[in-house]
Amino acid sequence: MDVKLSVTPYKGTRDFYPRDMKLRNWFFGKIRRTLENACFDEYDGPMLESLDLYAAKSGEELAKEQTYNFTDRGGRDLAIRPEMTPTVARMVAGKMGELNYPLKWFCISNMYRYERPQRGRLREFWQLNVDIFGCDTFEADLDVLQSAIAILRAYGADESMFKVHINNRRFFNDVIAAIAGTDAEGSKKISKVVDRKNKITREAYENAMEEAGLSEEQIEQIDALYSMNVKEATALCPNSVGAQELTALFHALEKTGLDKYCVFDFGIIRGLDYYTGTVFEVFDLAPENNRAMFGGGRYDNLVGLFVKNAKISGVGYGMGDVTLENFLITHSLVPNLDHEGTKVLVTRFDDVPYEKYTALVDTLRGAGITAALYLGAKKFGKQIDYAVKDHYSHVIIMGGDELANGVVKIKNLMTREESTVSVAELATFFA
Amino acid sequence: MDVKLSVTPYKGTRDFYPRDMKLRNWFFGKIRRTLENACFDEYDGPMLESLDLYAAKSGEELAKEQTYNFTDRGGRDLAIRPEMTPTVARMVAGKMGELNYPLKWFCISNMYRYERPQRGRLREFWQLNVDIFGCDTFEADLDVLQSAIAILRAYGADESMFKVHINNRRFFNDVIAAIAGTDAEGSKKISKVVDRKNKITREAYENAMEEAGLSEEQIEQIDALYSMNVKEATALCPNSVGAQELTALFHALEKTGLDKYCVFDFGIIRGLDYYTGTVFEVFDLAPENNRAMFGGGRYDNLVGLFVKNAKISGVGYGMGDVTLENFLITHSLVPNLDHEGTKVLVTRFDDVPYEKYTALVDTLRGAGITAALYLGAKKFGKQIDYAVKDHYSHVIIMGGDELANGVVKIKNLMTREESTVSVAELATFFA
């Protein structure tokens, strides 16, 4: 066969070479440590799910246009997961009676969406999902927001770099009903327009609002809401449960000192249909990248899709790796990971038996030192080049003379210092 | 909508609830630490690849019958990766000129194969892949074998629990040619029968060997090989390059003390067509589970599928999580991970302002202590139940009295000991 295969990964996906993978592990490591420190438990689910899982509650675009779906050899309609929420709802429903509520769960998993690849959007991406199940009140909303802020702060980000914009779907519906007298269906229609506000022209926005049944005056009343703070806004509908939820949440944010990261924003809707209470989006404050990075909210009824009359509330968010990486790069928060810790290459000469080298490497590894033997039989200069290119911190030289004297030479590749050390003192040298 | 969705994951896949995930992270953590300690670099590739990547060099069963494949909305034929080797070969080919050889790479990724789920086989599984590229000689084979043994030893396994069975494809072909005068195609036919030897009856084996063109006497000659050691076997074909490779490898295994984990086995073939030199399989020695757990070998030509005239040799193996887990459970090598380290639940009373609790939790987390505030407003007894069920090591009690005195009560849930500690001394208490 002479036709050569392409070396390019499938459109919208990435190869993670060791350098990329190191960065990914650094990203995810920070997240894991932050969340585990706050007693969130990691979970995971399968890449493939039954297609009907997504048809049920996701936004229509996601379910119909963006999933990778196909029929398996047994005739089952499957989808590669485009998001994690349906999976986690299924898992909670599956062990509903055994689980210990409130659950604080997270996962970091890859997803597929059929999108046109562009800045911040790929077809395969990883997504952190954080959720709390089984706590209906502001405490869970606060804890979830706190975890998102803690993750960004763990990378060194501060309040000058990001802002959490918060709204409440219940409040939104109540205010819209109060202004326009709409029912749930009418509010939904209007919410779709508000959700697109920043992506369309003012003219298109007004036209769409009019189509949704609003008068010019009503559109102006809604305009006023976009610049209100939470006190002004909730005063419009003080008896709304959503307003009370907002008030309790913002009170707690203020008392816990998280308010400097947060702002009320009536324009926050979140596209997916399943949100019912608090909704939020985290914005990058960098002028060149000023947009929502990720978001989430409260969805009260997802478990009910699986178990009759069940009701376990959830609140959470999803954070994609691509947008997070863009944010961290924009704010110069990614360190150089090339030179981290001790990494020792044992070089090899022909006049020393091979097993002397493997024994030396075993000694180093046994002492917890990252070490390898140069594989192959190239000249010494080539072995040093290899070590430098692969960011080894030290090379060890043990020729016939050193072997006879029970010592090795150690060369520090950063400082160029050379030391002669007995094999017995090796572990101490690197300690 | 009243039809309820199923809570069962797709056939042959698993949900990883937090307890399962903890185990998975423990499994993979051991592997990562062992391999990083030996200077292997982690990489990853996309879940979806072009279908033709698998048609080229994998075994036919894998490519045609076991892949999940479909056509995307843009008309591209895709497969969910059933194995990692084609992806890593593509990645190496993609940056062939920039990489620093020998490469020591590993990844831990999920794969899909359309199989009938059974013990040790699922449709979705995770697989460790370890490969060394760019070293043609025994050093790389040895390093790869050493890493597999080091991983099993890191779990506490010893030579009474597993054995590495080693053969060489080149040697196999040369011996078969010497015995039966077959060409490459003929040897391949015979190798397929030998590969199935332990899965079929003796009669079926003999019939298949005869069909492949062997006489009774030739079958007996091959029978003799199954019980030979490496010296006896290689003496049959001393000029075979494969025999020389086997001799060099076994010499090094002996000198480095790894020979106690290894044995020559002429019956080891490995199903996939791309192996060219050393092949090996690691067997579980437990009588109730005595079979190959995983294996690998040398494949010299994979990069050539992508780049004309390129030749970068590779040697490596893949280890599935399901078989590894079976092995560790069989040998009682899985610890109870429920009670690991300090994990503190701060309980909550109504008479203390919420922000006092969040501040206390912040103090604990800031000191590196895993801690959470009970979310919600249940009775104290329920909060303790929650802590016990979720394997918290301690609960902290701060009611109005404690708050007034600047102290907290700490209850150790294992020992039932109770201490009263000032907030300033909290970090020291848990240190």
DSSP state of B61: I
First to last CA, chain B: 54
Q: In a mutagenesis test of the B interface, which of A3, A27, A48 is the best target, namely the one with the most B β-carbons within 10 Å?
A: A48
Nearest CA among A153, A28, A56, A101 for reference residue B365 = A153
Helix or strand run (H / E) with residue B50: strand B48-50
- Mean pLDDT of the region A57-78: 80
* Residues of chain A positioned with their CB less than 8 A from the CB of B114: 72-73
- Mean pLDDT of the region A371-378: 95
What pLDDT, on the 0 to 100 scale, is given for residue B56?
64
Distance CA A193, CA A189 (A): 7
What pLDDT, on the 0 to 100 scale, is given for residue B288?
87
* Residues of chain B positioned with their CB less than 8 A from the CB of A376: 102, 135, 137, 139-140
Min Cα distance B289 → chain A (Å) is 27
* Residues of chain A positioned with their CB less than 8 A from the CB of B109: none
What pLDDT, on the 0 to 100 scale, is given for residue B19?
94
Please judge whether A42 and B25 are an interchain contact, meaning their C-beta atoms are less than 8 angstroms apart.
Answer: yes
* Residues of chain B positioned with their CB less than 8 A from the CB of A102: 375-376
What pLDDT, on the 0 to 100 scale, is given for residue B302?
83
What pLDDT, on the 0 to 100 scale, is given for residue A428?
92
Distance CA A282, CA A291 (A): 8
State how far the alpha carbon of B39 is from the alpha carbons of A45, A346, B295, B314, in Å. Answer: 31, 11, 21, 17
Please judge whether A90 and B256 are an interchain contact, meaning their C-beta atoms are less than 8 angstroms apart.
Answer: no
How many contacts (CB atoms, under 8 Å) link A and B? 267
Min Cα distance A401 → chain B (Å) is 21
What pLDDT, on the 0 to 100 scale, is given for residue A338?
87
Cβ proximity of A328 and A312 under 8 Å: no
* Residues of chain A positioned with their CB less than 8 A from the CB of B372: 38-39, 104, 143
* Residues of chain A positioned with their CB less than 8 A from the CB of B7: 90-91, 93-94, 306-307
- How would you class A387 by CB atoms within 10 Å of its CB: exposed for 0-12, middle for 13-18, buried for 19 or more? buried
Distance CA B89, CA B105 (A): 11
Asked if the C-beta of B9 comes within 8 angstroms of chain A's C-beta atoms, the answer is yes
Please judge whether B94 and A132 are an interchain contact, meaning their C-beta atoms are less than 8 angstroms apart.
Answer: no
What pLDDT, on the 0 to 100 scale, is given for residue A56?
64
pLDDT of A4 higher than 90? no
What pLDDT, on the 0 to 100 scale, is given for residue B2?
53
At A57, the pLDDT band (50, 70, 90 cuts) reads low
For B55, nearest residue in chain A (alpha carbons):
A5
- Mean pLDDT of the region A161-173: 97
For B70, nearest residue in chain A (alpha carbons):
A70
Cβ proximity of A371 and B38 under 8 Å: yes
Cβ proximity of A375 and A410 under 8 Å: no
DSSP state of B72: -
pLDDT of B59 higher than 70? no
CB count in 10 Å sphere of residue A416: 7
Asked if the C-beta of B358 comes within 8 angstroms of chain A's C-beta atoms, the answer is yes
Rounded to the nearest 10 degrees, the angle between the axes of helix A138-154 and helix A241-255 is: 40
Q: Does a cis peptide bond (omega within 30 degrees of 0) precede residue B287?
A: no
Residue type (1 letter), A293: M
- Mean pLDDT of the region A198-227: 94
At A60, the pLDDT band (50, 70, 90 cuts) reads low
Please judge whether A52 and B5 are an interchain contact, meaning their C-beta atoms are less than 8 angstroms apart.
Answer: yes
- Mean pLDDT of the region A269-281: 88
What pLDDT, on the 0 to 100 scale, is given for residue A38?
97
Name the more confident of B106 and B59: B106
Cβ proximity of A380 and A394 under 8 Å: no
What pLDDT, on the 0 to 100 scale, is given for residue A118?
79
At A187, the pLDDT band (50, 70, 90 cuts) reads confident
Of B10, B11, B307, the CB nearest to A4: B307
A 178-237 residues inside an 8 A Cβ radius of B: none
pLDDT of B272 higher than 80? no
- Mean pLDDT of the region B86-101: 95
Q: What does pLDDT average to over chain B?
A: 93
At B3, the pLDDT band (50, 70, 90 cuts) reads low
User: Tokens 């949100």 sit at which residue?
Assistant: A275
Of A10, A36, A41, the CB nearest to B48: A10
- Mean pLDDT of the region A233-257: 96
Please judge whether B10 and A78 are an interchain contact, meaning their C-beta atoms are less than 8 angstroms apart.
Answer: yes
What pLDDT, on the 0 to 100 scale, is given for residue A2?
53
For A122, nearest residue in chain B (alpha carbons):
B46
Distance CA B312, CA B304 (A): 8
- Mean pLDDT of the region B214-224: 95
Asked if the C-beta of B263 comes within 8 angstroms of chain A's C-beta atoms, the answer is no
pLDDT of A429 higher than 60? yes
Name the more confident of B301 and B36: B36
- Mean pLDDT of the region B75-104: 95
Min Cα distance A350 → chain B (Å) is 13
What pLDDT, on the 0 to 100 scale, is given for residue A1?
45
Write down how long chain A is: 431
Token pair, residue A387, equals 């070590």
Write down how long chain B is: 431
Please judge whether A42 and B48 are an interchain contact, meaning their C-beta atoms are less than 8 angstroms apart.
Answer: no
Which of A1-15, A371-385, B311-325 has the lowest average pLDDT? A1-15
* Residues of chain B positioned with their CB less than 8 A from the CB of A308: 4
Query: What ranges make up the beta strands (E) of B102-158?
Result: 103-112, 124-133
- Mean pLDDT of the region B260-273: 91
Query: Using H for helix, E for strand and C for coil, what is the string for chain A?
Result: CCCCCCCCCCCCCCCECHHHHHHHHHHHHHHHHHHHHCCCEECECCCEEECHHHHHHCCHHHHHHCCEEEECCCCCEEEECCCCHHHHHHHHHHCCCCCCCCEEEEEEEEEECCCCCECCECCEEEEEEEEEECCCCHHHHHHHHHHHHHHHHHCCCCCCCEEEEEEEHHHHHHHHHHHHCCCHHHHHHHHHHHHHHHHCCHHHHHHHHHHCCCCHHHHHHHHHHHCCCHHHHHHCCCCCHHHHHHHHHHHHHHHCCCHHHEEECCCCCCCCCCCCCEEEEEEECCHHHCCEEEEEEEECCHHHHCCCCCCCCEEEEEEEHHHHHHHHHHCCCCCCCCCCCCEEEECCCCCCCHHHHHHHHHHHHHCCCEEEECCCCCCHHHHHHHHHHCCCCEEEECCHHHHHHCEEEEEECCCCCEEEEEHHHHHHHHC
Distance CA B210, CA B216 (A): 8
B418-422/A418-422 β-pairing: unpaired
At B159, the pLDDT band (50, 70, 90 cuts) reads very high
- Mean pLDDT of the region A399-425: 95
pLDDT of A15 higher than 90? yes
Phi and psi, residue A410, nearest 5° = -120, 125
Asked if the C-beta of A141 comes within 8 angstroms of chain B's C-beta atoms, the answer is no
Q: Does a cis peptide bond (omega within 30 degrees of 0) precede residue B102?
A: yes
pLDDT of B110 higher than 70? yes
Please judge whether A376 and B22 are an interchain contact, meaning their C-beta atoms are less than 8 angstroms apart.
Answer: no
pLDDT of B58 higher than 60? no
Residues 6+ positions from A362 with CB-CB distance below 8 Å = none
B 272-311 residues inside an 8 A Cβ radius of A: 305-308
Model pTM score: 0.94
Please judge whether B68 and A68 are an interchain contact, meaning their C-beta atoms are less than 8 angstroms apart.
Answer: no
Nearest CA among B107, B110, B109, B46 for reference residue B78 = B46
pLDDT of B1 higher than 60? no
Token pair, residue A300, equals 């009260």
Q: In a mutagenesis test of the A interface, which of B11, B13, B14, B15 is the best target, namely the one with the most A β-carbons within 10 Å?
A: B15
- Mean pLDDT of the region A79-104: 95
Q: What does pLDDT average to over chain A?
A: 93
B 57-96 residues inside an 8 A Cβ radius of A: 68, 70, 72-74, 76, 78, 80, 90-91, 93-95
ipTM at complex level: 0.94
Asked if the C-beta of B409 comes within 8 angstroms of chain A's C-beta atoms, the answer is no
What pLDDT, on the 0 to 100 scale, is given for residue B310?
86
pLDDT of B64 higher than 80? no
Nearest CA among A125, A100, A110 for reference residue A41 = A100
Min Cα distance B287 → chain A (Å) is 31
- How would you class B287 by CB atoms within 10 Å of its CB: exposed for 0-12, middle for 13-18, buried for 19 or more? exposed
Residues 6+ positions from A132 with CB-CB distance below 8 Å = A102, A103, A104, A105, A140, A143, A144, A314, A315, A316, B375
Min Cα distance B189 → chain A (Å) is 21
Token pair, residue B403, equals 């708050």
Please judge whether A100 and B255 are an interchain contact, meaning their C-beta atoms are less than 8 angstroms apart.
Answer: no
Distance CA B345, CA A69 (A): 43
Please judge whether A140 and B56 are an interchain contact, meaning their C-beta atoms are less than 8 angstroms apart.
Answer: no
pLDDT of B393 higher than 60? yes
Please judge whether B306 and A358 are an interchain contact, meaning their C-beta atoms are less than 8 angstroms apart.
Answer: no
For A37, nearest residue in chain B (alpha carbons):
B370
At A369, the pLDDT band (50, 70, 90 cuts) reads very high
